[in-house]
Chains A and B, each alone.
Chain A
Amino acid sequence: GDSVTQMEGPVTLSEEAFLTINCTYTATGYPSLFWYVQYPGEGLQLLLKATKADDKGSNKGFEATYRKETTSFHLEKGSVQVSDSAVYFCALSKDQGAQKLVFGQGTRLTINP
């Protein structure tokens, strides 16, 4: 079946460091890919998405590029802030939208001042 694999956490960085969280997927066809973020005590918020190969999603300084040849969707940010501390989830959907998401296990990110 379809699956998503994220890099193991937790990840701890200093403020202004460069961030990469790796995400690879296994799926038939052409899934849409997403990154969601979960802050403590909250639900999930969509951070960015890409719906076809070579698309780049971006939001709030975060970026990820849909790489079909490597089945990857790695999340990057050039300079992290303390407020970026959260759990990040990579996900895929075979629907046009995101009604049936398959999630990775999540990566907890902590940014120290």
Chain B
Amino acid sequence: KAGVTQTPRYLIKTRGQQVTLSCSPISGHRSVSWYQQTPGQGLQFLFEYFSETQRNKGNFPGRFSGRQFSNSRSEMNVSTLELGDSALYLCASSWGQGEAFFGQGTRLTVV
């Protein structure tokens, strides 16, 4: 069974640009959650999607957005990038109420 796949693994962007990250969940999983990991703030919850609807949202500015498609794949978008958005972005999937399985993450560097 394939795990959670995140693409790309590494990304370098310039301040002011926007970026889209992708997450393919484990087959059959309908919930996808996103987290930001930084040395200073640790792991912080961004949002969760279940059956194409945002079910939970963390405390991040509106520049951070996401969506989920009918096949449960999810994308997150960050607009008007700032240096402080440099982080490891982790995606996790679950069938709904069970264990969350994490991908390897996308490392975003903003220069």
Contacts and interface: CB of A to CB of B under 8 A. Distances in A.
By secondary structure, the B interface counts as strand
B42 A96 contact: no
Nearest to B42: A105
A45 B100 CA distance: 9
* Interface bin, chain B: 20 to 34
Given A42-B104, A43-B90, A97 B96 contact: yes
Given A95-B97, A101-B100, A103-B44, 8 more contacts: A43-B104, A44-B92, A49-B99, A97-B98, A98-B98, A100-B45, A103-B42, A104-B42
Interface of B: 4, 31, 33, 35, 42-45, 48, 50, 55-56, 58, 90, 92, 94, 96-105
Interface of A: 36, 41-46, 49, 89, 91, 95-106
